[in-house]
């Protein structure tokens, strides 16, 4: 597919109010000519640099890979979705640059990188994630999502809630970022049928399999994230014994045995509020239940997190495990179908390869991607 030309993109972008258009020179100056030492991140769609505008404002400058057609779509989505919204738990989009082949997004700089890099980054960071900090992060992300799902009109489904898209500011307050996959969700629709997209490990089963998108898909991803924040480990860790590799399965297993607190990060050395930690773990399980209608809306999840609504054990049913459908314990039919899923990496510089089957067994499962579910072909 050919990339939309510059004129078309500028017309689309100018139609979006509150978007500042930056010149390429302005951003080149701000980032010291996109100096490697100013690089702060790299995602599926390009490289992110730290920069300082002429007026002293610190920014994060996301440069899309020049020839990614997929990226241009995400670029426009991100501007459309972000231009008009502001919330303390969402990154702020300042504007963009569209010049020749350049497609660049400019955000407010968030000081402490993502929780993928810090909390789950494997010990090479200096931040201490105390229990209170973790609890504030969970509550902040829940507030940001409740805002997107229930306050903004039309509602917004993020579709890629995961640790690398949760940034932390100087006070370790979380900000949801990366709206490239987001979908606007008009009130009159019960769901959107769409090409499924997201990151393996955070995908709600009904969404991954039938590409039927509702806000409940984000709530499922949020549940997995919650378990990661409390346990300080990633949703999948191949270095652990087989029975413990998948966090969600492990959480359910321990919950059924009546030992869920075993999941709490041992690096806290027992210095945490047991009642709150238990509540968080249960909410993680409530959010990841197999039946989407059993997952409460984000405003309810938020009330549960702050203790305004009691978490009832009777409400907790078995989580939906996509891993089962993917190859581990699936029955043959489903297994065959899943093998037939085609994945297309969203990035031009992708490590995924364009013809991979669902990449369950590779490190690519951490990458955002789009794919066609078997039921939609
Ligand atoms: N506003 C920001 N402030 C600081 N770091 C950021 C900001 N935006 C992105 N980053 C860093 O860049 C990484 C990739 O950015 P992201 O927007 O998620 O891009 P992608 O769509 O490629 O995944 C993030 O995980 C984070 O480490
Ligand atoms: Mg990202």
Q: What backbone torsions phi and psi does residue 190 show, to the nearest 5 degrees?
A: -85, -30
| More confident site: 92 or 366 | 92
Pocket test for ligand 1, best of 47, 60, 75, 79 (most atoms within 8 A of CB): 60
pLDDT at 249: 95
Q: Is 372's pLDDT higher than 90?
A: no
Question: Using CA positions, which residue lies closest to atom 8 of ligand 1?
Answer: 60
| More confident site: 31 or 367 | 31
| Nearest by Cα to 284 from 238, 220, 234 | 220
Domain with CATH 1.10.510.10 in the chain: 131-373
**Segment 238-259 mean pLDDT:** 94
Q: Is the pTM of this model over 0.85?
A: yes
Catalytic residue among 29, 67, 84, 160: 160
∠ CA 334-339-344, rounded to 5°: 130
| Average pLDDT of every residue of the chain | 84
What is the position in ligand 1's atom list of the atom closest to the CA of 43? Answer: 22
How many angstroms is it from 178 CA to the middle of ligand 2? 5
What is the position in ligand 1's atom list of the atom closest to the CA of 44? Answer: 22
Comparing 69-78, 175-184, 240-249, the range with the smallest average pLDDT is 69-78
pLDDT at 324: 65
198 Cβ below 6 A of ligand 1: no
78 Cβ below 6 A of ligand 1: no
pLDDT at 70: 64
Q: Is 350's pLDDT higher than 50?
A: no
Comparing 225-234, 297-306, 346-355, the range with the smallest average pLDDT is 346-355
Q: What residues are paired with 176 via a beta bridge? A: 90, 166
62 Cβ below 6 A of ligand 1: yes
Class of 131-373 in CATH = mainly alpha
Is 160 among the residues known to form the active site?
Answer: yes
91 Cβ below 6 A of ligand 1: yes
Nearest ligand, measured from the Cα of 91? 1
45 Cβ below 6 A of ligand 1: yes
Comparing 85-89, 277-281, 338-342, the range with the smallest average pLDDT is 338-342
Q: Residue 211 — left, alpha, or beta (φ > 0 → left; ψ -120 to 50 → alpha)?
A: left
**Segment 118-136 mean pLDDT:** 89
Residues 134, 113: Cα–Cα separation, whole Å: 15
Residue 10: half-sphere exposure toward Cβ, Cα within 13 Å: 12
How many angstroms is it from 114 CA to the middle of ligand 2? 9
Please give the structure tokens belonging to residue 126.
Answer: 């200096």
Residues 115, 118: Cα–Cα separation, whole Å: 5
pLDDT at 366: 61
pLDDT at 81: 87
Q: Is 370's pLDDT higher than 80?
A: no
344 Cβ below 6 A of ligand 1: no
SS3 content of the chain, % helix, strand, coil (to 5): 40, 20, 45
Residues 157, 301: Cα–Cα separation, whole Å: 16
Q: How many residues does the chain have?
A: 377
pLDDT at 327: 53
How many angstroms is it from 314 CA to the middle of ligand 2? 36
**Segment 361-372 mean pLDDT:** 54
Comparing 6-15, 113-122, 130-139, 353-362, the range with the smallest average pLDDT is 353-362
How many angstroms is it from 366 CA to the middle of ligand 1? 14
Contacts of 325 (CB under 8 A, 6+ apart): 205, 208, 209, 334, 335, 338
What is the position in ligand 1's atom list of the atom closest to the CA of 116? Answer: 25
Residues 181, 82: Cα–Cα separation, whole Å: 12
For helices 131-146 and 298-306, the axis angle rounded to 10 degrees is 160
Q: What residues are paired with 155 via a beta bridge? A: 185
Q: Is 160's pLDDT higher than 70?
A: yes
180 Cβ below 6 A of ligand 1: yes
| More confident site: 235 or 354 | 235
62 is in an annotated binding site: yes
- CATH architecture of the domain covering 6-108: 2-Layer Sandwich (3.30)
pLDDT at 17: 64
**Alpha-carbon distances, residue 6 vs 3, 11, 22, 46, 191 (angstroms):** 9, 9, 14, 18, 33
Residues 311, 337: Cα–Cα separation, whole Å: 37
| More confident site: 314 or 31 | 31
How many angstroms is it from 62 CA to the middle of ligand 1? 7
pLDDT at 347: 31
Comparing 35-44, 142-151, 302-311, 330-339, the range with the smallest average pLDDT is 330-339
pLDDT at 357: 38
pLDDT at 335: 39
Task: Pinpoint the alpha helices (H) of the chain.
Answer: 6-14, 24-30, 69-82, 131-146, 205-210, 215-231, 247-256, 274-287, 298-306, 322-326, 332-339
pLDDT at 199: 86
Q: Is the peptide bond before 373 cis (omega within 30 degrees of 0)?
A: no
């Amino acid at each position: 597919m050919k990339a939309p030309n510059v004129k078309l993109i500028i017309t689309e972008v100018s139609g979006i109010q509150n978007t500042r258009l930056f010149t390429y020179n302005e951003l080149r100056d701000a980032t010291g000519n996109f100096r490697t030492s100013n690089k702060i991140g790299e995602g599926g769609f390009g490289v992110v640099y730290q920069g300082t505008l002429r007026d002293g404002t610190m920014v994060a400058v996301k440069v899309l890979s020049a020839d990614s057609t997929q990226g241009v779509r995400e670029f426009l989505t991100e501007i459309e979705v972000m231009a008009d919204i502001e919330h303390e738990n969402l990154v702020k989009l300042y504007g963009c640059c569209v010049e020749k082949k350049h497609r660049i997004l400019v955000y407010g700089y968030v000081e402490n990188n993502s929780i993928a890099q810090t909390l789950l980054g494997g010990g090479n960071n200096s931040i201490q994630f105390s229990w209170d900090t973790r609890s504030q992060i969970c509550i902040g992300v829940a507030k940001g999502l409740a805002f997107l799902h229930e306050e903004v009109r039309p509602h917004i489904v993020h579709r890629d809630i995961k640790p690398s898209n949760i940034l932390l500011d100087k006070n370790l307050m979380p900000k949801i970022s990366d709206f490239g996959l987001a979908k606007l969700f008009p009130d009159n629709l019960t769901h959107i049928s769409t090409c499924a997209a997201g990151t393996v490990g955070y995908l709600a089963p009904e969404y991954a399999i039938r590409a039927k998108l509702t806000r409940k898909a984000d709530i499922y991803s949020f549940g997995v994230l919650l378990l990661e924040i409390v346990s300080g480990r990633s949703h999948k860790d191949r270095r652990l014994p087989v029975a413990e590799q998948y966090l969600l399965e492990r959480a359910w297993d321990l919950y059924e045995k009546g030992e869920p607190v075993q999941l709490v990060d041992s690096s806290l050395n027992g210095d945490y509020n047991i009642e709150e930690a238990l509540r968080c773990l249960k909410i993680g399980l409530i959010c990841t239940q197999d039946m989407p209608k059993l997952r409460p809306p984000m405003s309810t999840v938020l009330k549960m997190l702050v203790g305004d609504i009691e978490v009832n054990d009777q409400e907790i049913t078995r989580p939906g495990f996509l891993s089962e459908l993917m190859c581990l314990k699936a029955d043959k039919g489903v297994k065959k179908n899943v093998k037939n899923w085609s994945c297309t990496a969203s990035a031009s510089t992708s490590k995924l390869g364009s013809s991979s089957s669902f990449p369950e067994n590779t490190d690519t499962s951490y990458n955002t991607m789009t794919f066609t579910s078997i039921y939609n072909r």
